[in-house]
Structure formats: structure tokens, C-alpha cells
């Protein structure tokens, strides 16, 4: 989740915890999120919906191509080396991974507000947080780290 999504979830969680004022055992934010993700009635009651899904290869390739001609050129030059469709799919996937193209779409909806963000599976930025592909510094530093270049 990006900061805006975390703030939105925090706002709803704060409302949720107000019903526990005076109790010693307030459910954790992790438990709250688990219920939101897995219990449709609970999610509807609090007006918060969190959806996560894997991006398919076509969506990832489209994001890569939107980054500009340099990325498109790299993808084309690698794809020319392989003739079979199986190999081309592997090359596209590998290239998307090399350029930190997200693997997951996270959509959070609260009342009428929807926030989407992309996330890399298991990739961490220098700061120790998951790579935030909407933050160019995060992506740049992660690329530099992976390719052992100076930022």
C-alpha cells in the first residue's frame, strides 16, 4: 500500500477502534485488515474494500512500454533474439522484472473514494519498504542497487 492508502485505512481503523474505548483488548490493525480482506459483511459494514490482484503479462508489458522509447527498445531487442512464443513470454517477464514493473495492483475503496497503487512482489527499496513504483526515486535506487551502479 502507498502512503495515501495507508492513511485511508488508518482513518477507518481509528473509527473501528473507537467502539473498543475502555476495553483492554483492542483488535490489532492486522486483524482488522484480515477481516476487511476476507469477510465481505465486515468489509461492507465499515465501508472499506481492499482488492489485490496479480497483473497479467500484457498489463505489465503495457506499463513497461509507457515508460518510454528506451524501455521499448530494450524489450524489442531482447524479443528479437527469441523466435518461439514461449521464449518471448519469458523474455517479456524477465525484462519487466529487471525494470521493476509492478506485479500487483492494490485497490482500496472507502465510501466513494478509490485509490489504486502498484506493488512489486517481495522487492524492497533501499529504505527497507516494498518498492513503490509510483515513486521514481524508489524505482531508480532499486535499479541502481540491482545493477550495482551508483545512484
Q: What is the pLDDT of residue 140?
A: 56
Position with higher pLDDT, 20 vs 138: 20
Check: CB of residue 139 under 8 Å from CB of residue 100: yes
- In 18-112, alpha helices (H): 29-38, 40-46, 57-66, 69-80, 85-98
Residue 132's H or E segment, with its range, is: strand 130-132
Q: What is the pLDDT of residue 99?
A: 81
In this prediction the pTM is 0.68
- pLDDT band at 149, cuts 50/70/90? very low
The rounded distance, in Å, linking the Cα atoms of 70 and 4 is 30
pLDDT at 128 over 60: no
Query: Which residue in 136, 141, 140 sits closest to 126, CA to CA?
Result: 141
Check: CB of residue 36 under 8 Å from CB of residue 27: no
Position with higher pLDDT, 87 vs 32: 32
| Beta pairing class for 130-132 and 48-54 | unpaired
- pLDDT band at 148, cuts 50/70/90? very low
pLDDT at 36 over 60: yes
Integer Rg of the chain from CA = 19
Amino acid at each position: 500500500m502507498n502512503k495515501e492508502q495507508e492513511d485511508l485505512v488508518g482513518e477507518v481503523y481509528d473509527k473501528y477502534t473507537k467502539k473498543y474505548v475502555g476495553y483492554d483488548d483492542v483488535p490489532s490493525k492486522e486483524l482488522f485488515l484480515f477481516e476487511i480482506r476476507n469477510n465481505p459483511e465486515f468489509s461492507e459494514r465499515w465501508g472499506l474494500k481492499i482488492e489485490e490482484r496479480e497483473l497479467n503479462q500484457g498489463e505489465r508489458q503495457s506499463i513497461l512500454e509507457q515508460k518510454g522509447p528506451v524501455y521499448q527498445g530494450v524489450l524489442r531487442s531482447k524479443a528479437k533474439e527469441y523466435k518461439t512464443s514461449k521464449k518471448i513470454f519469458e523474455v517479456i517477464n524477465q525484462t519487466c522484472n529487471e525494470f521493476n514493473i509492478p506485479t500487483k495492483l492494490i485497490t482500496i475503496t472507502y465510501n466513494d473514494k478509490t485509490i489504486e497503487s502498484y506493488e512489486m512482489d517481495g522487492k524492497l527499496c533501499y529504505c527497507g519498504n516494498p518498492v513503490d513504483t509510483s515513486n521514481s526515486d524508489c524505482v531508480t535506487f532499486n535499479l541502481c542497487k540491482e545493477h550495482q551502479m551508483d545512484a
